[in-house]
């Protein structure tokens, strides 16, 4: 955390938040991004195996 954001140093100052509807929109956007990231992560083993098969074929280790 940044030094100015520790509860002990905030002096009770309020942090302004966007309206609730904007917060919901941001959360939905972040959730969609997280879902895309998870989909990409799920593809990684498949592509790693495919790359390994090509390398094996190129280097003659298959």
Tens-digit pLDDT profile for the chain (62 aa)?
455 666 666 667 888 999 999 999 999 999 999 999 999 999 999 999 999 999 999 998 76
Number of domains in the chain: 1
The verdict on pTM exceeding 0.75 is no
In-domain check, residue 13 = no
d(CA 37, CA 26) in angstroms, rounded, equals: 16
Per-residue pLDDT, 12: 73
Tell whether 22 is covered by a domain. yes
- Rg over alpha carbons for the chain, rounded to the nearest Å, is 23
Q: Is 9 a member of any domain?
A: no
The answer to whether position 10 is within a domain reads no
What is the predicted pLDDT for the residue at 4? 60
């Amino acid at each position: 955390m940044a030094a100015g954001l520790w509860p002990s140093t905030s002096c009770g100052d309020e942090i302004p938040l966007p309206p609730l509807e904007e917060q919901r929109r941001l959360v939905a956007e972040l959730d969609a991004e997280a879902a895309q990231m998870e989909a990409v992560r799920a593809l990684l083993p498949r592509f790693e195996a495919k790359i390994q098969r090509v390398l094996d074929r190129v280097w003659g280790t298959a």
